[in-house]
Amino acid sequence: MTLYLLCLVLFCAGLYGVLRKRNLVKIIVGLAIIEYSINLFFVLLGYRFEGRAPIDASDQNILNMVDPLPQALVLTSIVIGLGITALLISMAIRIYEKYGTFDITKIKRLKG
Amino acid sequence: MSLIVKTVTRLTVGLIVLFGIYIVLHGHLSPGGGFAGGVIIALAFVHFMLAFGKDAALSKISRNLASNLESLGALMFLAIALAGFLGGSFFLNILSKGAPFKLFSAGTIPLSNAAISLKVGVGLLAIFLALVILEKSGKEE
Amino acid sequence: MSGSGIIPWFVIIPLFSAFLISLAGRYVKKVFVKTFSALSVFTLMLLSFYAVHILRASASPALVYKIGGWMPPFGIAMAMDGLTNFMLVTVNLVAFFISVYSFSYMERYTDKPKFFTLFFLMLCGMNGLIVTADLFNLFVFLEIASIASYALVAFGTEAEELEASFKYAIMGSVASSFIFLGIAFLYGYTSTLNMADIARVLVEKPGAGVVPFAAVLFLMGFGLKAALVPFHAWLPDAHPSAPASISAMLSGVLIKTLGVYAMVRVFYNILGITAAYSHVLMFLGALSMVTAVILALSQWDLKRLLAYHSISQIGYIILGFGLATPLGILGGLFHLFNHSVFKSLLFLNSGAIDYSCNTRDLKEMGGLREKMPVTANTNLIASMSIAGIPPFNGFFSKLIIILACIEKGYTGYALAAVLASVLTLASFMKVQKFAFWGQLKEKYKNIKEAPLAMRFSMIALAVICCLGGLLLLPQLKFFLNDAVSAVREGTNYATIILRQAAK
Q: Does B5 touch chain A (CB under 8 A)?
A: no
- Does residue A4 lie in a domain region? no
Report whether C37 contacts C22 (CB < 8 A).
no
Please count the structural domains in chain A: 1
DSSP C250: I
With H, G, I as helix, E, B as strand and everything else as coil, classify residue C63: strand
Q: Is C328 exposed, middle or buried (0-12, 13-18, 19+ CB in 10 A)?
A: buried
DSSP C3: G
pLDDT surpassing 60 at residue B136: no
Quick: pLDDT tens for C46-69. 999 998 888 888 878 888 888 877
Angle between the N-to-C axes of helices C30-58 and C112-131, in degrees from 0 to 180, rounded to the nearest 10: 10
User: What residues of chain C have any CB closer than 8 angstroms to a CB in chain A?
Assistant: 136, 140, 143, 147, 150-151, 154, 157-160, 162-166, 169-170, 173-174, 177, 180-181, 184, 187-188, 191, 193, 236-237, 241, 298-299, 301, 304
Per domain, the residue ranges of chain B are 3-137
Quote the pLDDT of residue A14.
93
Name the band, by pLDDT with cuts 50, 70 and 90, for residue B140: very low
Name the band, by pLDDT with cuts 50, 70 and 90, for residue B83: confident
* Residues above pLDDT 70, as percent of chain B: 84
H/E run at residue C81: strand C77-81
Tell if the CB–CB gap between C177 and A34 is shorter than 8 Å: yes
Report whether C454 contacts C355 (CB < 8 A).
yes
Distances (CA, A) of C486 to C142, C327, C365: 22, 14, 46
Nearest to A15 by CA among C258, C27, C175: C175
Q: What are the start-end ranges of the H helices in chain B? A: 3-25, 34-52, 54-60, 63-83, 109-137
Torsion sign across C-alpha atoms C312, C318, C322, C325: positive
Instruction: Please state, in angstroms and rounded to a whole number, the distance separating the CA atoms of residues B108 and B90.
Output: 13
Q: How many CB atoms lie within 10 A of CB B138?
A: 7
DSSP C325: S
Output C494 or C316, whichever has higher pLDDT.
Answer: C316
Q: How many CB atoms lie within 10 A of CB A22?
A: 11
Quote the pLDDT of residue C499.
80
Report whether C204 contacts C262 (CB < 8 A).
no
Cα of first residue to Cα of last residue in chain A, in angstroms, is: 46
* A89 Cα to chain C: minimum distance (Å): 10
Per domain, the residue ranges of chain C are 299-472
Probe site for chain A from C121, C144, C163 (most A CB atoms < 10 A)? C163
Quote the pLDDT of residue B139.
43
Name the band, by pLDDT with cuts 50, 70 and 90, for residue A38: very high
Output B62 or B126, whichever has higher pLDDT.
Answer: B126
Q: Would you mind telling me the total number of residues written for chain B in this entry?
A: 141
- Does residue A111 lie in a domain region? yes
Tell if the CB–CB gap between C140 and A80 is shorter than 8 Å: yes
Output C371 or C9, whichever has higher pLDDT.
Answer: C9
Angle between the N-to-C axes of helices C210-226 and C159-190, in degrees from 0 to 180, rounded to the nearest 10: 160
The domain of A108 spans 22-48+65-112
* Residues above pLDDT 90, as percent of chain C: 39
Give chain A positions within 8 Å (CB) of B135.
93
Instruction: Please state, in angstroms and rounded to a whole number, the distance separating the CA atoms of residues C401 and C410.
Output: 11
One-letter amino acid at C10 equals: F
The count of CB pairs under 8 A between chains B and C is 39
Mean pLDDT estimate for chain C: 88
* A17 Cα to chain B: minimum distance (Å): 24
Name the band, by pLDDT with cuts 50, 70 and 90, for residue C183: very high
Instruction: Please state, in angstroms and rounded to a whole number, the distance separating the CA atoms of residues C239 and B63.
Output: 31
Q: How many CB atoms lie within 10 A of CB C333?
A: 29
- Does residue A6 lie in a domain region? no
